[in-house]
């Protein structure tokens, strides 16, 4: 039996979109002690706009923040009393994390549960922010075969990204997971694979519960029973979460990707697929135009380390009140200092050709932040091909 003493750490579920994060959310929500609400759209905006709310030691500012949160799009999915929640935020400690934590705690109280979680794929690339708000959080990252992720994402009505950008998004998700696996200790970061979870749920859910310090409950293996509560009906792309856990979508890329799409996936993602335990099919090399479009679609993400360093520098140059939550047994003003600072930029290794051979040889430790780059001469060739592939204006 797990010990529940002081076991109230927030649970943050992350992963590349279409990796099974919603299924995992429902599995956790099925636990008798844990509640995980529908995805929200107020946590990250509240952090970015925190200066607008002023010093939250002032109750009037906490009220203004509370009214902003309950008026935010999608808040109705939580099923909470808006006026009552605003009063709870006013009564909470004067930090942004405390205000947000009060909302999530109120959601868990709605189900009579003592522990809350939060799920949003976007948190994976914003864990610096999430851990500033909740320094004692336990992060659970679910990984799925990148080819299946890409195949699913390209069918989503809300995405609006090119196929090449979608491929790059899975690469970045793997890199972010690797980064946080190195930075957080074993009590704060846990990773599991979608394929393992759907093939044999119980042992992997038991391992997850051991990480969380909770007892396993058989209800966790039947997440579909929670879908009507925790997944809004209008999110039709989550309709499969209402059924049984199944392996039906494992390796569905075999009939959902074209030969050209599969070739690009396995060329661009080869080292990452292998490092996550996925075998390659031996698809050939994509055409020059497709490879050039991939380079163009992912180039901006190679600036991510520099952006993180700029944010870290800004925090040092612009002192501000603490934002960390002060609600759980481990939280407090002193905990915020324990959060790893955003990392400084690193000089990327020399560019290597995008070919199956070169990517297979690329080491896990030295690969680029978002996607392997083409050498200058080859890049120029592919740039010309990409320009020729563009439709006329």
At residue 240, the pLDDT reads: 62
Q: Would you say residue 223 has pLDDT above 60?
A: yes
Whole-number mean pLDDT of the chain? 82
Per-residue model confidence (pLDDT) at position 322: 87
Q: Is the pLDDT of residue 386 over 90?
A: no
Residue showing tokens 């605003």:
86
Q: What is the CATH number of the domain that holds 26?
A: 3.40.50.300
In this structure, of 56-70, 88-102, 207-221, 377-391, the range with the lowest mean pLDDT score is 377-391
* Percentage of the chain lying above the pLDDT 90 cut: 62
Residue 6 lies inside a defined structural domain of this protein: no
The pLDDT, as a whole number, for residue 298 is 83
More confident residue, 351 or 51: 51
pLDDT at 137 over 60: yes
Answer yes or no: is 91 within a domain: yes
Alpha helices in the chain (DSSP H): 21-29, 43-48, 59-70, 82-91, 96-110, 127-133, 146-153, 163-183, 194-199, 201-212, 227-230, 253-256, 259-268, 270-275, 288-298, 304-317, 356-361, 376-389
* pLDDT of 304: 66
Predicted pLDDT of residue 250: 94
pLDDT digit string (tens) for 228-266? 665 655 544 445 665 688 899 899 999 999 999 999 999
Query: Who has greater pLDDT, 214 or 316?
Result: 214
356 domain residue, yes or no: yes
Question: Which of the pair, 103 or 306, is modelled with greater confidence?
Answer: 103
In a domain, 150, yes or no: yes
Q: What values do phi and psi take at 198, rounded to 5?
A: -85, -25
Supply the range of the domain harboring residue 74: 11-388
pLDDT of the residue at 345 = 35
To the nearest whole percent, how much of the chain has pLDDT over 70? 75
In tens, the pLDDT along 53-91 reads 999 999 999 999 999 999 998 899 999 999 999 999 999
For the chain, the domain total comes to: 1
pLDDT higher for 346 or 138?
138
Taking the C-alpha atoms of residue 39 and residue 74, their distance in angstroms, rounded to an integer, is: 8
Residue 94 within a domain: yes
Of 208, 242, 203, 212, nearest to 114 by C-alpha is 212
Determine, yes or no, domain membership for 4.
Answer: no
Residue-wise pLDDT for 309-348, tens only, equals 777 677 667 777 889 999 987 775 344 444 544 443 333 3
Residue 198 sits at the vertex; the CA angle it makes with 246 and 195, to the nearest 5 degrees, is 120
- What pTM, to 2 d.p., does this model score? 0.81
Each residue of 3-48: pLDDT tens digit? 545 589 999 999 999 999 999 999 999 999 999 999 999 999 999 9
Residue 393 lies in a domain: no
Whether 2 is in a domain gets the answer no
């Amino acid at each position: 039996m797990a010990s529940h003493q002081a076991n109230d750490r927030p649970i943050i579920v992350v992963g590349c979109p279409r990796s099974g994060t919603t299924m995992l959310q429902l599995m956790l929500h099925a636990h008798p002690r844990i509640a995980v609400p529908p995805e929200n759209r107020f946590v990250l905006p509240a952090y970015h706009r925190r200066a607008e709310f002023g010093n939250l030691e002032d109750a009037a500012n906490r009220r203004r923040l509370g009214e902003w949160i309950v008026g935010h799009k999608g808040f109705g999915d939580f099923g909470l009393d808006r006026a009552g929640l605003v009063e709870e935020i006013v009564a909470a400690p004067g930090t942004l994390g405390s205000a947000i934590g009060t909302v999530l705690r109120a959601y868990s109280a709605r189900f009579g549960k003592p522990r809350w979680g939060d799920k949003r794929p976007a948190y994976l690339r914003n864990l610096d922010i999430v851990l500033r708000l909740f320094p004692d959080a336990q992060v659970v990252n679910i990984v799925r075969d990148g080819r299946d992720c890409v195949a699913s994402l390209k069918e989503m009505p809300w995405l609006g990204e090119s196929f090449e950008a979608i491929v790059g998004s899975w690469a970045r998700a793997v890199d972010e997971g690797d980064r946080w696996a190195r930075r957080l200790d074993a009590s704060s970061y846990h990773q599991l694979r979608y394929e393992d979870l759907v093939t044999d749920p119980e042992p992997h859910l038991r391992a997850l519960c051991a990480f969380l310090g909770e007892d396993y409950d058989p209800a966790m293996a039947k997440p579909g029973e929670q879908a009507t509560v925790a997944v809004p009906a209008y999110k039709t792309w989550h309709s499969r979460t209402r059924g049984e856990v199944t392996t039906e979508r494992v390796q569905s890329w075999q009939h959902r990707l074209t030969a050209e799409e599969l070739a690009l996936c396995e060329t661009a993602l080869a080292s990452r697929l292998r490092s996550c335990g996925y075998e390659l099919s031996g698809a050939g090399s994509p055409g020059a135009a497709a490879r050039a479009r991939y380079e163009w679609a992912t180039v901006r993400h190679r600036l991510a380390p520099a952006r993180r360093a700029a944010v870290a520098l800004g925090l040092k140059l612009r002192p501000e009140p603490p934002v960390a939550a002060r609600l759980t047994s481990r939280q407090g003003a002193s905990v915020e200092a324990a959060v790893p600072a955003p990392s400084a930029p690193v000089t990327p290794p020399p560019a290597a050709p995008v070919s199956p051979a070169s990517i297979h040889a690329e080491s896990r430790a030295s690969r680029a932040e978002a996607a392997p780059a083409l050498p200058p001469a080859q890049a120029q060739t592919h740039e010309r091909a990409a320009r020729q592939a563009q439709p006329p204006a």
